[in-house]
Amino acid sequence: MSRSKPIALAGAVIVLLALVAAGCGGSSKKAATTTTGSSASITAPASISSSGTLAFCSDITYPPEESYKQGTTTPEGSDIDIGNYIARKMGVKARFDNTGFDGIIAALLAKKCDAVISGMNDTPERRKQVAFVDYLKVGQSFMVKSGNPENISGIASLAGKAASVETGTTNKDYLDAQSKKLQAQGKKGIKVVTFPKDTDAANALKTGKVDAYFGDAPVVAYYIEKDPSSFSIGGTPVNPISIGIAIRKSDTDLQAAVTQAVRAAYADGTMDTILTRWKLGKAVAKLQP
């Protein structure tokens, strides 16, 4: 859930998942998780090996990629499973620190964590600050009220309307750019309304504060599956972008270890298992590093 983030399911959903071939604010809560499975087979950098922990910054408000189990502070989701697998391959435990997406790269650079796994799009602008190990490609979709009363099917139909996004995401950047294009054509722009949490952005649609929500396609599919009486899909996914694990450029040993672990996840079938578990098998495109 590309998040498309900082510089900083029933008929319609089945159609969405089939068509996607390609897109998270948070609190200060922290949680440590471990999973069972493959034994260590990749050498962890010395600092991580000595601490016994691989710490990830993650905006844990972005289901199904990362969110808290209801009523708990235990994170779950596809990215959580992937992060746990990577740590396990290095013989350490994974820890996930809930970090607002608009400040997540800054937190990484300040060494508050070792890496970012948070449905983050790998963009040229972000590459100026951090290195990426890409692992999937995800498109972005419009979610509308059930029945699509505003007849929103894409950018053109959003002219003069309001759409919600999470703060600091590439979703916002994309809508801002498309709004300028509409205005250059003599049409009304798009009112892009930002929220610190993705779940708040989705709720803004449910409560009638906006005409559409724009987010990563798997996240849109998740919201629709959970609340089909409130939401439906508007048009088809757009703007497919790679998503990756962000690492400080200076941490070349960690980059190499994470790359090996992601390749192993593809080779031993773990990536397929995780994507199937979180119903993302048809909502994303595989991207082995």
> How many CB atoms neighbour CB 41 within 10 A?
12
> pTM to 2 decimals?
0.77
Amino acid identity, residue 127?
Answer: R
**Can you give the pLDDT at residue 4?**
52
Q: Report all structural domains of the chain as residue ranges with CATH numbers, in order of start.
A: 20-137+242-286 (3.40.190.10), 139-240 (3.40.190.10)
CB-based burial, 167-195: b 16+ in 10 Å, e otherwise:
bbbbbbbbbeebbeebeeeeeebbebbbb
* For residues 86-112, average pLDDT: 97
pLDDT tens string 209-218: 999 999 998 8
Continuous H helices in the chain: 10-19, 46-51, 78-89, 104-109, 124-127, 170-184, 198-206, 217-226, 252-267, 270-277
**Can you give the pLDDT at residue 78?**
97
How far apart are alpha carbons 210 and 267 in whole angstroms? 43
Tell me the pairing of strands 231-247 and 115-116.
Answer: antiparallel
For helices 270-277 and 252-267, give the axis angle rounded to 10 degrees.
Answer: 80
47 or 22, greater pLDDT:
47
**Can you give the pLDDT at residue 240?**
87
- Torsion of Cα atoms, 220 then 221 then 227 then 230, to 10°: 50
Cross-strand partners of 131: 247
pLDDT tens string 137-186: 988 999 999 999 999 999 999 999 999 999 999 899 999 999 999 999 99
**Can you give the pLDDT at residue 3?**
58
**How large a percentage of the chain has pLDDT more than 70?**
86
pLDDT tens string 220-266: 988 998 999 999 999 888 888 899 999 999 999 999 999 999 999 99
Backbone angles phi and psi of 78, in degrees to 5:
-65, -45
